Amino acid sequence: MHKRILEYKKRLEKIEELIDEMLQQSKAGTIIIVEGKRDIVALRKLGIRGHVESAAQKKLMEFSERIANDGKDIIILTDWDRRGDILSLKLTTYLRDLGNEPNLLIRERLRSLVKKEIKDVESLFTYVVKLRNITGYTEKSHPAHNYEL
């Protein structure tokens, strides 16, 4: 049991590092692209207040052109299911064709940390809270750790 809690704690720390990275990049003007409104809500609950865009129900080429024309860095954070993979691939292709190299690393790192537990961005906030409760982890030295409960 103790070993399992240590694993959860390590996973939580890595997830929070990624959340902190998104928070910092978002503050610097990076645009975060997600699939839907619930994903935006989850990121807001995790403390990310910057520019987050939903790609849901949009013509992807037009959406990509508008985002690329902003001239800002871009993080693609689609779900780690088949649909999210396809959307990520399409967005990446369009954005690269428009001269913008989106950040996919955060999505891939999150995916590897949580894919056995959750499959989407909208579940991320609840999952982090669950890990905090399991591990008893209470350090709140960073604003991103002060989640809305």
pLDDT digits (tens, 9 = 90+) for 69-107: 999 999 999 999 999 999 999 999 999 999 999 999 999
Confidence band (pLDDT; 50, 70, 90) for 142?
Answer: very low
What is the topology classification, in CATH, of domain 2-139? Answer: Dna Topoisomerase Vi A Subunit; Chain: A, domain 2 (3.40.1360)
Lowest-confidence region among 47-51, 75-79, 128-132, 144-148: 144-148
**pLDDT at res. 23:** 96
CA dihedral of residues 69, 72, 73, 77 (deg, nearest 10): -70
Q: What confidence tier does 3 reach under pLDDT thresholds 50, 70, 90?
A: confident
Number of CB atoms found within 10 A of residue 134's CB: 13
Per-domain boundaries in the chain: 2-139
pLDDT value of residue 115: 84
For residues 49 and 24, the answer to whether their CB atoms sit within 8 Å is no
Residue 145: what pLDDT?
Answer: 53
Say how many C-beta atoms besides its own lie within 10 A of residue 132's C-beta. Answer: 20
The answer on pLDDT for 144 being more than 50 is no
In what side-by-side order are the strands of the sheet with 52-54?
Answer: 52-54, 31-34, 74-76
Question: Worst-scoring range by mean pLDDT, 54-63, 73-82, 133-142?
Answer: 133-142
Summarize pLDDT for 11-51 with one digit per residue, the tens.
999 999 999 999 999 999 999 999 999 999 999 999 999 99
**For residue 35, what are the contacts with CB-CB under 8 A and spacing of at least 6?**
54, 55, 56, 78, 79, 83, 84, 87, 120, 121
Instruction: Give the pLDDT of residue 70.
Output: 93
Q: In whole angstroms, give the CA distance from residue 117 to residue 134.
A: 14
Q: In the chain, which residue ranges form alpha helices assigned H by DSSP? A: 2-27, 37-45, 60-69, 82-97, 105-114, 124-135
Contacts of 53 (CB under 8 A, 6+ apart): 31, 32, 33, 34, 63, 67
Q: Which residue has the tokens 């849901």?
A: 56
